[in-house]
Amino acid sequence: MNMLRTHPAGVSDEPLSHPRIRQAFRSTTLLVGCYAGLSVLTLIAVALLRHHPGIVTEAVWGRATVVVATSLLMASFAARTVRGDLRSYLRLRLASGVMVVVIAVIIALPGTFPLWLKMEQGLCGVLLTGVVVIVNGKRMRSAFASK
């Protein structure tokens, strides 16, 4: 009798080991990693340019800090999702979707942030849209469907 290992959240290894799911995990991890890396680099740039009030405002500091925190949380969710954790998968789905909406609002609001930050947020939005598409795809949802 073939015993499949079951993860704490109840997802067996079989659907998670499918080649397309493994590729989806790799793509998701890469996109979230790029989002986190870009976010950290942006915060470093903000710190280096802190004496230029036309480029770095208090709003920029706040947004850059929040984005780094959320990107690191999403990296944690992605890592645990790859290991089959259902709760982390659901958190990744929710967080990525919410962040795409927040980024769209930030870009659309006039005068709240400098153009350079809106451009950086646009790139973050593109990366996260890829995550949203992958983690909400039929195969990924099926792999994490409750048994």
Cα angle 102, 104, 106; round to 5: 70
CA–CA distance, 65 with 68 (Å, rounded to integer): 5
pTM of this prediction? 0.86
* Residue 111 confidence class, pLDDT cut points 50, 70, 90: confident
Q: What is the DSSP letter of 56?
A: -
Indicate if the pLDDT at residue 122 is higher than 60.
Answer: yes
Q: Alpha-carbon Rg of the chain, whole angstroms?
A: 18
Q: What is the DSSP letter of 2?
A: -
pLDDT at 19: 84
pLDDT at 118: 96
- Is 103 in contact with 121 (CB distance < 8 Å)? yes
pLDDT at 145: 85
pLDDT at 13: 62
Give per-residue pLDDT as tens, 40-72: 999 999 999 999 998 999 999 999 999 999 999
Indicate if the pLDDT at residue 9 is higher than 70.
Answer: no
- Is 28 in contact with 81 (CB distance < 8 Å)? yes
Q: Helix or strand or coil: residue 12?
A: strand
CA–CA distance, 37 with 120 (Å, rounded to integer): 12
Residue 80 neighbours by CB under 8 Å, 6+ apart: 87, 88
Give the helix/strand (H/E) hosting 31: helix 19-48
Indicate if the pLDDT at residue 10 is higher than 90.
Answer: no
Here the tokens at position 104 are 């769209």
pLDDT exceeding 70 applies to what percent of the chain? 89
Indicate if the pLDDT at residue 12 is higher than 60.
Answer: no
Pick the range with the lowest mean pLDDT from 15-24, 60-69, 76-85, 88-97: 15-24
